[in-house]
């Protein structure tokens, strides 16, 4: 689409206001809806594919403009149009998902969204199921010429309310839009096996218990950081790596069991977990601490072994602290 071409809706519409979260208009045949205003108060928003039984096909001009509370938005598949300035001046917006069904993108849809930038927030930025070719067909000023990061190869599961990335045929969960307190992560999203947990639950104070399925291999940095009400964590036997500060500041967490499969634990994994009393080890091995250089590579010559087998209390105390600035713990087995 050429630059500076406004996206408008050319058909006659009738205003409907029956939905509690959105105002919308219907085409004359009353089968397709255009959202015209957002009336909700939540900080995370799912733009629905159906409203009051009507298929949603578009987000109208400035529907979310000026909303400084929302932090994350997922647009469901089937929506084809996002009109001018739809998310302008949403200054707290950190995460947005745009489906591949969007073919008509307006001008300055994202304008003055500082939290979408790499250095402006802790969210995902803009993720999309669209191809690079499709993204390049959108107007040059759809981001108001700002270099907001755009990640392709993403998808959103309406069933599980999870935004995820796709790589090598596997899924990594990037953001959870649900409000449930007890969450069981599915083994697969669509046809993709879940192998990684990203910053999906960072700061989620609704979360009380989390169960990860067999198949998950990596828990990423800060994945559950700041989940202040998290008390129960069930980890699978396929888990290999728990990255730095993955469970930091989980102040209600009292105990956790690490499965035999874990070989890498990042620095400060349990930092700030002031009530953590027990880290149960499901293996017998030697814990070795390695230093990392500024690129994250281990410097083998500085390896410092810790007594083997290390007690749960010693490990819990050790991994709650940033022992070194760039450090992680790795397990290795001794003997047969």
User: What is the pLDDT, as a whole number, of residue 309?
Assistant: 45
User: What is the pLDDT, as a whole number, of residue 60?
Assistant: 96
User: What is the pLDDT, as a whole number, of residue 93?
Assistant: 96
The two structure tokens encoding residue 83: 């009109």
Question: pTM of the full predicted structure?
Answer: 0.83
In the chain, where are the structural domains located?
13-151, 154-332
> Of 196, 80, 52, 206, which is closest to residue 138 (Cα–Cα)?
80
User: What is the pLDDT, as a whole number, of residue 294?
Assistant: 45
The two structure tokens encoding residue 215: 């198949």
Q: How many CB atoms lie within 10 A of CB 298?
A: 17
User: What is the pLDDT, as a whole number, of residue 38?
Assistant: 95
User: What is the pLDDT, as a whole number, of residue 117?
Assistant: 82
CATH superfamily of 154-332: Ribonuclease Inhibitor (3.80.10.10)
Query: For 13-151, CATH number?
Result: 3.80.10.10
Using alpha carbons only, what angle is made at residue 184 by residues 179 and 187, rounded to the nearest 5 degrees?
A: 130
Q: What is the mean pLDDT of each run of 10 residues along the chain (336 residues)?
A: 43 51 85 93 93 93 97 96 97 96 97 82 86 95 92 95 95 96 97 96 96 96 96 95 89 88 78 83 49 46 42 52 40 35
**Virtual torsion, Cα 94, 156, 250, 205, nearest 10 deg:** 70
* Bridge partners, 197 (sequence order): 173, 219
pLDDT tens profile 190-231: 999 999 999 999 999 999 999 999 999 999 989 999 999 999
* Fold match between domain 13-151 and domain 154-332: yes
The two structure tokens encoding residue 36: 């015209």
Residue 154 CB-half CA count within 13 A: 24
> Of 118, 119, 104, 113, which is closest to residue 144 (Cα–Cα)?
113
In this structure, are strands 81-82 and 95-98 parallel, antiparallel, or unpaired?
unpaired
Specify whether the CB–CB gap between 32 and 54 falls below 8 A.
yes
Distance CA 281, CA 311 (A): 8
User: What is the pLDDT, as a whole number, of residue 260?
Assistant: 76
């Amino acid at each position: 689409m050429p630059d500076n071409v406004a996206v408008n809706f050319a058909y006659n519409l009738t205003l409907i206001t029956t939905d509690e979260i959105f105002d919308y208009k219907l085409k004359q045949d009353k089968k397709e809806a255009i959202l015209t205003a957002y009336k909700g108060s939540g900080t995370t928003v799912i733009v629905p594919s159906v409203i009051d039984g009507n298929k949603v096909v578009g987000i109208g001009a400035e529907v979310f403009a000026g909303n400084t509370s929302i932090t994350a938005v997922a647009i469901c598949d089937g929506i084809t149009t996002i009109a001018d300035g739809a998310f302008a001046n949403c200054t707290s917006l950190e995460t947005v998902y745009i489906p591949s069904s969007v073919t008509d993108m307006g001008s300055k849809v994202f304008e003055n969204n500082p939290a979408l930038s790499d250095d402006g927030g802790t969210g995902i930025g803009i993720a999309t199921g669209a191809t690079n070719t499709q993204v390049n067909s959108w107007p040059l000023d759809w981001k108001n010429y700002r270099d907001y990061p755009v990640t392709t190869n993403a998808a959103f599961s309406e069933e599980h309310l999870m935004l995820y990335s796709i790589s090598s045929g596997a899924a990594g969960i990037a953001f959870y839009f649900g409000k449930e307190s007890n969450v069981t992560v599915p083994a697969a999203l669509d046809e993709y096996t879940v192998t990684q947990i990203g910053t999906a639950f960072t700061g989620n104070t609704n979360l009380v218990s989390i169960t990860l399925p067999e198949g998950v291999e990596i828990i990423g940095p800060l994945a559950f950081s700041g989940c202040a009400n998290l008390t129960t964590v069930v980890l699978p036997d396929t888990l290999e790596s728990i990255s730095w500060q993955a469970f930091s500041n989980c102040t209600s967490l009292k105990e956790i069991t690490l499965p035999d499969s874990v070989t890498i634990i990042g620095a400060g994994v349990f930092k700030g977990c002031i009530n953590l009393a027990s880290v149960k080890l499901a293996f017998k091995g030697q814990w070795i601490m390695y230093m990392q250089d500024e690129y994250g590579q281990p410097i083998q010559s500085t390896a410092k072994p810790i007594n083997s087998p290390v007690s749960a209390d010693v490990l819990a105390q050790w991994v709650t602290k940033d022992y070194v600035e760039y450090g992680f713990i790795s397990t290795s087995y001794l003997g047969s």
